[in-house]
Every structure is written in structure tokens, then in C-alpha cells.
């Protein structure tokens, strides 16, 4: 396993459509392992393959609910409700924005054994699924940020005032 370089905003690869994964190969299996290691090294909750320079439909997510999620060729089937909150991205370091996403999502995907499954998610997991699926279609959260981007230091100062 290896920590891969994360592509950042301005890198053209982040604006491209990703290709579906047709077969599980040793390279895709290694990519998934590396993506988890890379995500954990940066304290992220999710990571999509284009963020590490690979134009494949692969997403990994860990929102501290006791599960590691692998979504290959994910497709959001339905959404419900809405939630508005702070959102950041490993490809947009040091920044966050206020974004409205669905409160609940239902997604179908393949797991790391290329077996199809459906996942119903809400809250932070739903937000992460939507955010990471956007990456697979060349979209960044900055396009959805309701009042522009803010420095993470502003959020830390605000949290300190609440204490």
C-alpha cells in the first residue's frame, strides 16, 4: 500500500468524466487499498479515484460508523430531504463551503468483489456519497457552495467561540 498524491483544484483531471470499472484487477484492488491509506493519512472521510489521478469510477468512504465503504460504478437511485452544512474536500485544501445535499440517498454500486449491492444512507454518509459521486463526473463541491469558499481557520475560530 502507498499514499498517493492528491490532485488539487485547478488540475484538469478533476473536471473529467470517469470510466466504469469492467473487471476487478490487481491494479484496481491496489488502487482501493492505496485510496483508503491516502484518505486516512489526510483525515478525510471519502476519496474518489480522480483525486489520485485515476479516471475510474471508484470511491472509498469511512465516516467513523464502523464501516469502510467501497463503491465501484456507483449510481444514485433516489434522494430525499435536504441538509445544509459545511463541506470540505482533500482536493481543495484549507477551504470549506456551505453546501446543501440530500438528507437521504439510495445508491447502487459494486463492492470490491464486483458484487452489486444497494446502500441507503443518511446524514454525513449521504453527504459523502453525493460529494464523491460528483467527483466521478468532474464536479467539485465549490460549484455548489452557497456563499463561496472560506478558510478552515475561520471555522476553527467560530468553533472556539462556541466553547
Mean pLDDT of the chain: 94
128 burial type by CB count under 10 A (0-12 exposed, 13-18 middle, 19+ buried): buried
Tell the residue number behind the cell numbers 460529494, with chain if given. Answer: 131
Q: Decide if 1 is inside a domain.
A: no
Q: Decide if 6 is inside a domain.
A: no
Active site annotation includes 156 = no
Q: Which are the contacts of 115, defined by CB distance < 8 A and separation ≥ 6? A: none
> What confidence tens digit (pLDDT) does each residue in 116-161 have?
999 999 999 999 999 999 999 999 999 999 988 899 876 655 554 4
Strand order through the sheet with 83-87: 83-87, 95-101, 150-151
Give the ranges where 14-99 is alpha helix by DSSP (H): 26-41
Q: Decide if 3 is inside a domain.
A: no
Using only the alpha carbons of the chain, give its radius of gyration. Answer: 15
Query: Of 132, 157, 159, 161, which one is the catalytic site residue?
Result: 132
Q: Which residue has the higher pLDDT, 148 or 68?
A: 68
pLDDT at 1: 78
Count up the domains in the chain and report the number.
1
Q: Which are the contacts of 66, defined by CB distance < 8 A and separation ≥ 6? A: none
Q: Which residue has the higher pLDDT, 103 or 1?
A: 103
> What confidence tens digit (pLDDT) does each residue in 89-117 have?
999 999 999 999 999 999 999 999 999 99
Q: Decide if 7 is inside a domain.
A: no
CATH classification of the domain holding 81 = 3.90.45.10
Is the whole model's pTM more than 0.85, yes or no? yes
Amino acid at each position: 500500500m502507498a499514499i498517493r498524491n492528491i490532485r488539487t483544484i485547478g488540475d484538469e483531471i478533476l473536471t473529467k468524466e470517469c470510466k466504469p470499472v469492467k473487471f476487478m484487477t490487481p491494479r484496481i484492488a491496489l488502487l482501493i487499498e492505496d485510496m483508503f491509506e491516502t484518505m486516512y493519512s489526510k483525515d478525510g472521510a471519502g476519496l474518489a479515484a480522480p483525486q489520485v489521478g485515476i479516471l475510474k469510477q471508484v470511491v472509498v468512504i469511512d465516516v467513523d460508523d464502523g464501516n469502510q465503504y467501497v463503491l465501484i460504478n456507483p449510481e444514485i437511485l433516489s434522494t430525499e430531504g435536504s441538509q445544509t452544512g459545511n463541506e470540505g474536500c482533500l482536493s481543495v485544501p484549507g477551504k470549506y463551503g456551505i453546501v446543501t445535499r440530500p438528507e437521504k440517498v439510495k445508491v447502487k454500486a459494486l463492492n470490491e468483489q464486483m458484487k452489486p449491492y444497494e446502500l441507503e444512507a443518511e446524514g454525513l454518509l449521504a453527504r459523502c456519497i453525493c460529494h464523491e459521486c460528483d467527483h466521478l463526473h468532474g464536479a467539485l463541491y465549490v460549484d455548489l457552495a452557497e456563499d463561496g469558499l472560506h478558510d478552515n481557520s475561520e471555522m476553527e475560530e467560530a468553533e472556539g467561540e462556541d466553547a
